[in-house]
Amino acid sequence: MARFFADEDFPEPVVVHLRILGHDVLTTRQAGLANIGTIDAAIVARATSDGRAVLTMNRRDFIILDREDPVHSGIIVCTRDDDVEALAKRIHEVIVLNTSLHGLLIRINKPSDPQLSRQSN
């Protein structure tokens, strides 16, 4: 399974579900990098040095970091979802399709609500 480094803003309940699915997830808190103002580039550098893909909800900043330097162990940017188990499953389903996450920017989006889609048509 995959090795992840969960950014400070990544929900702990999703981390728990990813671990249940067999993934190795290290959090910024566990790494001693939480609540000290660690810059995003340092998160990517730490994850890359550990051979871990970054998990984050901070889409804008991490997409920019990927554009500036695509040499990393993977960056997975997610859309917030109150259904943490479903979010973990979407991440898992995409990850199992890739033999390597090195240099990949993966976007995990919350599925749109079919009710809202019908109302807007």
- pLDDT tens column, 25-50: 999 999 887 778 888 999 999 999 99
- For CA atoms 16, 50, 41, 31, give the dihedral sign: positive
Per-residue pLDDT tens over the stretch 41-86? 999 999 999 999 999 999 999 999 999 999 999 999 999 999 999 9
Fill in the DSSP letter of residue 99: S
Report the C-alpha gap between 17 and 99 in whole angstroms. Answer: 21
Average pLDDT over residues 80-101: 93
Full DSSP string of 100-113 = --TT-EEEEPPPPP
Residue 108 pLDDT > 80, yes or no? yes
Q: pTM for this one?
A: 0.88
Residue 102 pLDDT > 80, yes or no? yes
What's the pLDDT at 117?
A: 35
